[in-house]
Structures are given as structure tokens and as C-alpha cells.
Amino acid sequence: MPATRPGEWLDPDSGVGLGLEDVQPGTYNMTIKTDRYTSREYAERERDAIWMKVWQIVGRADDLPKTGDWKKHNIGDQSFIIVRGKDGKLRGFVNACRHRGNALCITDTGNAKRGFLCQYHLWSYDLEGRLRGVLREELAGQIDKTENSLHEVPVDTFAGFIFLNPDPGAAPLREYLGEDVYHLLEPYNIEQFTTVMDVQEAIDCNWKVVMDAFEEGYHINGIHPQLLAVLHINPATARYQFFENHSVAMAPFEVAGAGAQAQVDGMMALPETFPGTAAVIPRFQELVAPYLDKDGKVNFPDGVTARALLQEATREVLTGMGLDVSNLTDDQMVDNQGWVLFPNYFMTVRAGECHVITSSPLPDGDPNRCIWHVASYMYLPEEHRSAFHAEPIVVEEPGSYKYFEALQQDYVQMPRQQLGLRNNRLDHMSLVKEEVVIAHFHSVIDRHMDAAQN
């Protein structure tokens, strides 16, 4: 086992992470203009400066396991196809025939082992995007097949996710994410996780309202009071890392000052909000049992805590299931680290489990609405993966899908904020220091928007 593991950046003595006291006044703009949430003109500029220029997650690599498997992905009003070729490589193309622009793929997924066929005039393309056939080719005239391949767009993978960039001249994904992101996330082995929840629907708020909501814990007391039983909301001990485009923050699973019984009770309730803990709870109960008094109450001696027992149970259970967690710290067994990968990806991740929120503009460009996509991934032994794998759900009727408790609370709250942001007299938001991740996120937006104007 290495002497230093990536997760040890959280140690204040490591010299790596930052606390709130380390973020000096003026580092980020804490006043955010509200027109970026409500202005159609701003949304149009975002489209060109951000959505058409940066890497974005468009799915999971294991959703396209076989040759010819493809999926369609829309970014605003732009449509793309991602397909697995005969060589096993994933490629991305603009979803438009080079003849007269007909969309090649209309449904969301499919298999095109023999390639793509345009239904309009029967032009055909192979899985590498090359034009292979033209109807009545002998009469078609000056059609150069080499000049009429599908327009390719960059596609790559990391942590089991497929990334796509609409810009054909984009820098490589690894350069965009940065070596620090790879170094810190690779030990989780997320590529081995199974999709256990996959839901998307249109929601009445700007895409940045969704991102902002998951970038801070300041709202937990007001919106998620039930989480106070297991989350230590102490801004003074929060830790952060800020990268060029991305960030990570952490709050531990514990309540400072709470008694042993309250700690255990809170952790026993974890599966209601964090379903992945369900597999660990039985072992946790076994570890707690020796410390129960004759009345069934918890009585820990000095040096024993509910947090440490949950860490031990998590490591034992995941290792027994076949997941290598040797490069993760004990804290990473239970603590969710909150990752923001710009522009629209938020993930909480801990050993064996992660939850992802993405948000993106609607094709019509309405800044007051967006598509939010909620997905959960868990490590499961191979023999159980198919039984628990979740198929995508697209919610057509607002409010008809019930998310797990904390997500449902956010789902109800976010449109309320958009209603307030639309008031003309409210021309800016004023962030508090605990919302520094939001401030960093908007500084990245500003940089991309400014670069597009220069």
C-alpha cells in the first residue's frame, strides 16, 4: 500500500487542500448577476462560448458494449451520435447525413452493426463515419466519397463515462480535466460501477440553478434537516481543491458533539438517502453489537466511534464483494466528496457508490427551463449487475417521479429560486463564504464567456 494515498489531501497538514480561512477575500467574485439565469441573449452566448467548446459527459461506456451500439445525444439544438466501432473504439459524429442534412438517428439508442443508412435518399455510412454507398451512384455526378464522410467530433472516456466535445479542434480530454482530477478519482474505480438509477426530466429553472444547488451545503439546515444526523456541517473544517475548470469539496459523515446513540441511529438511517449503504449496514450492526448495554443502548469506550466502525464495515464489505479499495483512505469509505466537472456535472462519490447530477439547456433555448439528469452508480459483484441495472427513465409529467428524499427536496426547491430570480429588481445574488464553490464555478463561466468575446 502506498505511503501516501490521493485521498489524504483532506488532511490539513498535507498542504494540499484549502479551508475557508485560506480563501482570501477577492479571490472570487461573490456577487453574481441574475441576468445569466434569465436572459435569452446570455443563454445564446453561453451556447457558443461553453456548450459548443467544452467536454461534456454524454453517458456510460458500458451502455454501448457491442459493435454497432449507438446512442444519440443532444446538446441544446445540436444532435450527435456516439457509436462503438468494429475496433472497439467509441466515436462521435454530427447526427446529419452529408447529402441534405437528414438526421440519421431519431430514437435514443440502437445498433447499426452494418453502419448508418439515411432513410431519405439511402446514403450509407460505416461505423467509422465514411460514406460507403450512394443511391444510383452511376447517375449521381461529382460525389467524392472521401469528402463526404460524417462530421466527426472528439469522444473519449474516463471513470466509465463517455465524454464528447462538439469542437473538432478541442484539446484532449485528459488535458481538459487535468492530471489532478485523474489522480484523485482513479482510485475509486468508478468504471466498475453499475447504473442503478437513471432519470431525466425538464425542470422549471436555469441549468445553473441546478449546479449551484449542489455546490454548497449551506442550504442543508433549511432544505435537508434529516441529513444533520449524519453530516457534520462545520464550515471551519470543510476542505476544498480548486482547479482551472473543476473543483472538489468534502463534508464528513458525523455530527460533532452528538452522543454515541445518536451517531449510530443516524448511520442506521443512511439508506433512506444514500441507498448504497444498505449493503454495509448489517456488518455495521455486527460491529456495534459488542458495545450495547443490557438495555440495548450504545456505550462506546474511548477510541471507538460510530464513524470508525462504519468505515471498517464499508472496507470489509466492499473488499469482500471484489472492489479494490486499497488506495482509498478510511475517510473515503464513508465521506462523500463533491466534485464539479465544468460545465454541468456534479458528483458525490465515496467508496463503492456515486451519485451524479447534470443539467443542460433545452433545445428551444429558454433560460428559465433546463433538463436535469439524475443518476446513481454502485459497485456490485458481476453476478448481480444485470439484476440491479437501471434502464433510463424520461419523465414526461412533472412531479410524477418521486426521487429519494434529499433529491425530492431539491427538486421542489429549485423552481422556487428561478421564480425569484426572474424579478427585475433583483439584479444580483450575494454569496456567503460557504458558497465559495459556486463562486469558483461562476469564475470559470466568466473566463469562458470572456474568451469567446476576445
For residues 441 and 270, which has the higher predicted lDDT (pLDDT)? 441
Spell out the SS3 assignment of the chain. Answer: CCCCCHHHHHCHHHCCCECHHHCCCCCCCCEEECHHHHCHHHHHHHHHHHHCCCCEEEEEHHHCCCCCEEEEEEECCEEEEEEECCCCCEEEEECCCCCCCCCCCCCCEEECCCCEECCCCCCEECCCCCEEECCCHHHCCCCCHHHCCCCEECEEEECCEEEECCCCCCCCHHHHHCHHHHHHHHHHCHHHCEEEEEEEEEECCCHHHHHHHCCCCCCHHHHCHHHHHCCCCCHHHCEEEECCCCEEEECCCCCCCCCHHHHHHHHHCHHHCCHHHHHCHHHHHHHHHHHECCCCCECCCCCCCHHHHHHHHHHHHHHHHCCCCCCCCHHHHHCCEEEEECCCEEEEEECCEEEEEEEEECCCCCCCCEEEEEEEEECCCHHHHHHHCCCCEEECCCCCCCCCHHHHHHHHHHHHHHHHHCCCCCCEEECCHHHHHHHHHHHHHHHHHHHHHC
Percent of the chain whose predicted confidence (pLDDT) is above 90 = 77
Query: pTM to 2 decimals?
Result: 0.93
pLDDT score at 230: 63
pLDDT score at 231: 63
Over residues 217-252, the pLDDT tens digits come to: 888 888 888 777 666 667 778 899 999 999 999 877
pLDDT score at 225: 81
Over residues 355-400, the pLDDT tens digits come to: 999 999 999 999 999 999 999 999 999 999 999 999 999 999 999 9
Over residues 90-106, the pLDDT tens digits come to: 999 999 999 999 999 99
Over residues 294-340, the pLDDT tens digits come to: 989 999 999 999 989 999 999 999 999 999 999 999 999 988 899 99
pLDDT score at 2: 45
pLDDT score at 351: 95
Over residues 12-64, the pLDDT tens digits come to: 778 888 999 999 999 999 999 999 999 999 999 999 999 999 999 999 999 99
Over residues 408-446, the pLDDT tens digits come to: 999 999 999 999 999 999 999 999 999 999 999 999 999
